[in-house]
């Protein structure tokens, strides 16, 4: 069990937005969707791009580099790349699809805290 660390002010993260926070040497993606907060590792396990620079649609974040998609509610990989047919299959063989690590989030007062 980790410890909760202050990550941001609640007012600094509007609904439907995401941002990168660095806590205890970890790069974490923090997002608010439908009033609920989500936190996951910010580095795409496919090719290392910052997911916070990608696109957020509901709880799904799309990597800006190769279109991999992850559900922030549980970290699972929805799509590994957006490469066509055989290239996509080769990408899955060379680097196996992997889910994102997710983190517990809570709000105390006006501070968003993440368990690291």
* Domains of the chain from N-terminus onward: 4-115 (2.102.10.10)
Spatial CA neighbour of 62 closest among 15, 53, 88: 53
pLDDT tens for each residue of 48-58: 899 999 999 99
Structure tokens at 81: 């790349």
Does residue 70 come out as left (phi exceeding 0), alpha (psi in the -120 to 50 range) or beta?
beta
CB contact at 8 A, 63 and 46:
yes
pLDDT tens for each residue of 22-79: 999 999 999 999 999 999 999 999 888 999 999 999 999 999 998 999 999 999 999 9
What is the model's pTM? 0.86
């Amino acid at each position: 069990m980790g410890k909760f660390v202050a990550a941001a002010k609640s007012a600094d993260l509007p609904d439907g937005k995401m941002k990168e926070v660095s806590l205890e040497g970890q790069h974490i993606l923090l997002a608010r969707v439908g009033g609920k907060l989500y936190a996951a590792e910010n580095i795409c396990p496919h090719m290392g791009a910052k997911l916070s620079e990608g696109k957020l649609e509901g709880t799904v974040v799309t990597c800006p580099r190769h279109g991999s998609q992850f559900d922030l509610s549980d970290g699972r990989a929805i799509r590994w790349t957006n490469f066509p047919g055989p290239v996509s299959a080769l990408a899955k063989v060379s680097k196996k699809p992997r889910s994102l690590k997710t983190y517990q989030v809570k709000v105390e007062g006006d501070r968003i805290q993440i368990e690291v």
